[in-house]
Each structure stands twice: as C-alpha cells, then as structure tokens.
Structure 1
Amino acid sequence: MQLNRIRVGEALALIGAAVVVVSLFLDWVEVPEAVFTRSVGADAFAGGVGVAGFDIAGWALIALLLLVAALALTLVVLTVAVEPVGLTMASAVATAFFGILVSVLTLLRLALFQPDAGLGDENVTLQLGAYLSLLGVVLCAAGGWITMKDERQSAPYSAAPDLEPRPAPPADAVA
C-alpha cells in the first residue's frame, strides 16, 4: 500500500465520493413557509422543514450516486494497492463514464425535475445537499478523467526496464 501514489485525479475522486455520500444525508429541499396539504400524508407541513436526499432523490438517482462514489473509491484503492495498471485504468474509465452520465442526470433532476415532496415546485427550495450531490459527482468524473490522462511516466516504477540488447543475426542468415 503506497499512499504516495495518490495524485490529483485520485484525490479529486476521493473527495467527490465523500461529498456525494455526505450530501445524501443533508437536506435537499426545504419548505420555506407553511404549506397545508394532505398529499404527503399529514394535515399540515410546517415551514422550514427540510427533506434529506435519501428521502426525496428517488431510488434510481440514489443508486447511481452511490455507484459513482463506489467506483471512485475503487479507483483510489486500486491505485494505492499498486494493482496492475489495466485495472486502475478500467476503474478510471468507469468512474469518468458513469460520473459524466450521473452528473447530467443529477443536473436534470435538480433543474427540470426538481424534487418537490408532492408540494409543487413553487412551494419548495433546493438546499445545500442537492447542490453538493452535483458537485461531488462532477468531482468524481473529473478525478476519473484526470487519472486516465495521467500516465505516470515520471514515476520510477514506470521506467522502461534496462535490457541487454540482442546481438545482430549473422550476415549469412536467411530471412
């Protein structure tokens, strides 16, 4: 395990994964004033009440956000564990691909299909948790992208092996 192998890409992915997980526990929406409704199963919904990401984001988006966080963590673990470069690059590709995809889906969910707890868009406001989820998944995607770009050519373990040159074939050898 070599922690000195973590570079900018892996650090961004790790920070993004942590931000995504934390964002799901924070409030995504808040009802700023008293809104009375029976659609949420209560007689009244008091103003200033927030709803966390796990309660309002929808199971598909939650699963995708957690998938991106898990892929980002896998990228960091494979890098630190000095696994073969192929595994690390495959993890970076998956992190970047799903990170970009889920970034777009999260942006659509927050901008167009805003979670409203059944109260209507005009009665709720997006809170810090919603924006942090978008930031975290973008950081994961950027981390995967930067890791793919970084070929670690300056690292000592990436240096070409020092091989003995093979002797030239004899002049009378037939091709």
Structure 2
Amino acid sequence: MVGVLEERNSRSVLIRNVDYGAYAELSALAKRLGTSVGALASQAFKLLVGLADAGPMLAGLPADTPALLSNLLPVTRLKRKPVFVRHVGRLVVSREDLEKASGPIFFFGIGELVFDPSVDTKLFEEKVLRIVDCGKVVIHRGLDKLAVLERALFIGEVEEKV
C-alpha cells in the first residue's frame, strides 16, 4: 500500500541549494540499496517531517508549544530518547510491548501496524510518539481513533476492528 501511495504522489521536482556532499552520500546509499535517489529522499523527507512535528514532545514540552520557543531548546536537553521501529511488513503491538519500550516509540515505514485490544488510549498517548509512512494502521474500538490520527503522518488507511 505504501508503494502505491508513493507512485500516485510521485512527481519530478527541482530542489535548489542541496549540499553536494550530502547528495553524493544519498546517491551512493541509494545505489547500495538498489533504489532511486528520489525514493530515498522521499523517505528522508517524511522522517524529517515526523521528527520536526514531534520535537516539542521529545523535549517534554506540550505539543502546542510555539515553534519559535521549541526551536530554542537544544537537542541535548531531550527528556526521552525515542525508540525507532521501522521497515517491518506487519507488526502487532500489545500493551506489554509498549510498556517495555525505553522511550517514546516512532513507527516508520510499517506495511501494516496493528494495535491489539490490550492497548488503551492513555498508554498509546504516553508511548507512541509518531506513526509515519505506514500503509495500514489497525485499531480496536477501545483506542481513540483521533488520538491515533493526531500522531499519524503519511498513512494509507486506518481500519477500526470491532
């Protein structure tokens, strides 16, 4: 599903003032991974948007903190180091999984992300930082859909199970 979304949203764009060294590294990485520079750059853009969006929460500030104030806070003062879970075809997450996480969880590039019925809204809000670039997110009726959507970016579909 994620690949279909990328194909539908793909366009040729020109980006000015790209650091040549960074571009060369990205190009070399794309070759090693057998993908295009554009596809890899798109993933990087989505990750950057997700991290920037989550910035205030990482520093222990309210989510609605003005960007100007949150930008003044040095990254070294982060209260909680995020846990990155990425590039999994299908993942079922339980209450126990979330409770064991050492910091807020950033889900990235998951084909199908399923939250089982043991996950309640309070725990979800405490432990899930962002869900970015996932094809399908499956939730149950006991998990507040708006709380999930509030933390989601670039999602293909949200399915609610009874």
Taking structure 2 as the reference length, the TM-score comes to 0.26
Taking structure 1 as the reference length, the TM-score comes to 0.24
Higher normalized helix content (fraction of residues): 1
User: If you compute each CA radius of gyration, which structure gives the higher value, 1 or 2?
Assistant: 1
Higher normalized strand content (fraction of residues): 2
